[in-house]
Amino acid sequence: MSTNIKSFARTRRACYFTYLAMSSIFSLPPLLFVTFREIYGISYTLLGTLVLINFCTQLTVDLIFSFFTKYFNVHLTVKVMPLLTSAGLLTYALIPTFFPQYAYAGLVTGTVMFSIAAGLCEVLLSPLVAALPSDNPERDMSMLHSLYAYGVVMVVFVSTAFLKLCGTQNWMYLTLFWAALPIVSFILFSTSPLPEMNLSSGNSTDKAKKKNGGLMLCVLCIFFGSAAENAMTNWISGYVENALQIPKIWGDILGMALFAILLGLGRTAYAKYGKNISSVLLFGMTGALVCYLIAGFSANPIVAMLACVFTGLCTSMLWPGTLILMEEKIPNPGVTAYALMAAGGDFGGSVAPQMLGAVVDAVSASSWAPDIATKLSLTTEQLGMKVGMLTAAVFPLAGVFLLIYIKKAFKKSK
């Protein structure tokens, strides 16, 4: 067994590095949005559409893999995936630079390309790591997902420092740097052995039906977990700056960066010490619910910001932990199952931030908001953001009830 583990050590490192490099796809574009508006005159609405394109593209890839897994050469797809990431980032940087009149078209094209790669990454890397021989597969899965969080911190600090020192007009060189990292992943995967992965999608036996029922519960769980994580991920910077009136630089460093650090630390801690994933998930959902309620209700900006930050720790295991739960309760789930799980997570990650934003706009534009905001010594926008935070609490709340049900459901299935 130990010889087997050693023979796939390079493959495991390739998976880890790829997940780390992929974090630039999600965290770099928002850092450049203001720059794009200033240089190319792109509206905030069009910039926000890029985020929607990112999630919709990933969701489409997830669904395609869910239904047509057997038509893909999985090993070849894993190897090509990093090159598609690099090609997307290169397109993202070069078309606006050399053809500024087509800047937005270049950003859209690049976004679609690297979002396809991101979708493939979510669908394939988790089952690839799960298929590797290991003394502790739960640790490997948790470590894989923790590297994404550390990658976000790395991208935020490196990119912020570069733009400060070299100027925002040189943003394309920063993008080219991040485009180079996936090439290392391509080299690692091309020179590493890849294990066989289960591509089966189940059958119509009673056992398969129970398996599919359990899988759907896990997909719903990862939907609520991703929603709880991504609602805060996408809004923490704006919430800290606008609702809590904390300067942007401190909001990004003490808010967004600390959130990502705690997200990574929670996953690393489980990788080293974790067990009993069902209880960990229930604790995480409950903690996230409490954090959202404190962030929405607290009049003290420091307490509210700390609640936002600690949501990172509480939600840290909700995505990878649900994958671990699925592997634990559903032996040999197959790539199709991972694709469905990724679809559930991506759907939650797109619905929750959009819903929170819609609530903020609706409250800010309502006729009753000014009176209540005045009584609470808030602006209507601040009131809208607080109501948005409280509304987003519905996701971890639903997750708590679902996890209680899942515990009972899996006990019965035994």
CATH of the domain at 86: 1.20.1250.20
More confidently predicted of 341 and 52: 341
Tally of domains in the chain: 2
Residue with tokens 């890839």: 61
Residue 197 has pLDDT above 50, yes or no: yes
- HSE-up of 41 (CA within 13 Å, CB side)? 3
Of 158, 175, 197, the position where a domain reaches its end is 197
- Nearest by Cα to 306 from 251, 269, 349, 353: 251
Q: Give pLDDT tens digits for 121-132.
A: 888 888 888 888
Please give, one letter per residue, the 3-state secondary structure of 232-289: HHHHHHHHHHHHCCCCHHHHHHHHHHHHHHHHHHHHHHHHHHCCCHHHHHHHHHHHHH
- Taking residue 313's Cβ as centre, other Cβ atoms within 10 Å add up to 22
Of 149, 175, 197, the position where a domain reaches its end is 197
- 157 and 66 belong to one structural domain: yes
Of 173, 197, 221, the position where a domain reaches its end is 197
- 239 and 119 belong to one structural domain: no
- 136 and 226 belong to one structural domain: no
Residue 413 has pLDDT above 70, yes or no: no
Residue 1 has pLDDT above 50, yes or no: no
- 187 and 216 belong to one structural domain: no
- 119 and 192 belong to one structural domain: yes
- 174 and 287 belong to one structural domain: no
- 63 and 163 belong to one structural domain: yes
Question: Helix or strand or coil: residue 82?
Answer: helix
- 318 and 179 belong to one structural domain: no
Predicted pLDDT of residue 5: 66
Q: What is the CA radius of gyration of the chain?
A: 21
- Domain hosting 52: range is 1-197
CA–CA separation, 136 and 85 (whole Å): 30
CA–CA separation, 400 and 9 (whole Å): 37
Give the best-scoring range by mean pLDDT among 90-94, 147-151, 256-260, 297-301. Answer: 90-94
Task: Look up residue 206 and give its two tokens.
Answer: 């009673």
Give the best-scoring range by mean pLDDT among 181-190, 235-244, 374-383. Answer: 181-190
Predicted pLDDT of residue 87: 96
- 193 and 239 belong to one structural domain: no
- 236 and 283 belong to one structural domain: yes
Q: How far apart are the first and last CA of the chain?
A: 29
- 184 and 257 belong to one structural domain: no
- 264 and 209 belong to one structural domain: yes
